[in-house]
Amino acid sequence: MQNPAFDADVAAIDELMVLMAAKVEEAVLKASHALKTQDVDLYKTVKNADGEIDKLQLQIEDHVIELIATKQPVASDLRKLLSVFKLAADFERAGDYAVHLAKATKLFVHEPQWHQLERIATMADLGAQMIHGTAQAYRQRSSALARQTALLDDEIDHAHKALVQDTLAFLMQYPEQAERATRIITLSGHLERLGDHMTNACEAIVFMVEGIHADLNE
């Protein structure tokens, strides 16, 4: 049975979710650009955007809690709302990693451009693609697109492993660069975990659409 009032409430949540995802995607891309161009001022922009992302998460959670409490949804509607909770949390974590990435600009400013930073930027671009794909899968209620998007996590994982190996080899040759090498590995780890969070979000979409707990990390 259709419930126009409930559908309108879910549509409002959808708008907030899509907006949140767009802000997170933009933050990741700006953070990557800040690191490549050594733009310290851009870090502040990413940091301010993180506050907006956090507020959107709270708005979404408040809407979901209110709907569950007042409309008492059942079956697929309840599954949908519980999945939204998970998605909002994963998007929020991705926004945090964007801040970490932008903040690292301070360490590399006025330093020679490291080739590792280009690889970090490539990983960030993949992360942004995952965020975009996850948001589209949610908006379209497409488990197929969610599964397709989750495949990008393998590319991020492979890039992370290769970058760690390369940076450790560099560190053996230039031990005086330990601080920066450590930061590179840390940043790569942040982006690897961003991919994991988007994979988790894609799993939540599959659960929302199909009602099954899929493991997309296989």
Q: pLDDT, tens digit, for every residue of 199-210?
A: 999 999 999 999
DSSP structure class, residue 213: -
Q: Which of the two residues, 181 and 151, has the higher pLDDT score?
A: 151
pLDDT at 76: 81
Alpha carbon distance 38, 210 (integer Å) = 44
Domains and CATH numbers, the chain: 4-210 (1.20.58.220)
Alpha carbon distance 107, 110 (integer Å) = 9
pLDDT band at residue 138 using 50, 70 and 90 as cut-offs: very high
